[in-house]
Amino acid sequence: SAMSIDASGRVLTPARPAFHAYGTSSTWTVFSNGSWTKLVLDATPPLNVGSHYDSTTSTFTAPVAGAYHFYAKVYGRVQSGGAASTYWQSRFQKNNNGISGYGAIIMGYQYASGGNDEIGNFLMNISLAANDEITVHAQAAGSSNGEYYPIACEFGGHLIG
């Protein structure tokens, strides 16, 4: 059933859309300088209630209008030999565009040398219409490219209500 209450009073909603995704590649993958690149998180999701996350496109599609919660972890870096003016950033995108009011997480503490691994964690609560799509993107800014390590990246979320 869509909802039940157990003997202890816990409300269970086993049909509520939820997912957790990650990448399979253990090779550093380039994301472009100046261009937002969608992260490939293509493993068969260990959690995919309702099958609304498509691992072939690394995209979550909202099945119904409502409030949703999303989280992401991006394991990335400026490529080795980076320059003092380079950093990398990551963000969620809705329908393949940036989301007004939801900025990017900016990384690049070791930008002058590049090749230093960093982890960016971010999350958001957002109102979506049915069939809106959410993806995770990264971009380098400055004079060098960035790269991410797919097997160490994660993306997930669920319908709040």
Dmax (CA) of the chain: 61
Instruction: Give the separation between CA 73 and CA 41, rounded to whole angstroms.
Output: 11
pLDDT at 107: 85
pLDDT tens string, the chain, 161 residues long: the values are 788 999 999 998 989 999 999 999 999 999 888 889 999 999 999 999 999 999 999 999 999 999 999 999 999 988 876 666 778 899 999 999 999 999 998 887 655 566 688 899 999 999 999 999 999 999 998 878 889 999 999 999 999 99
The phi-psi region of residue 55 (left if phi > 0; otherwise alpha if psi is between -120 and 50; otherwise beta) is alpha
Tokens (6 digits) for 56? 């072939």
DSSP 161: -
**Other CB atoms within 10 A of residue 12 CB:** 12
What phi, psi does 60 have (nearest 5°)?
A: -100, 130
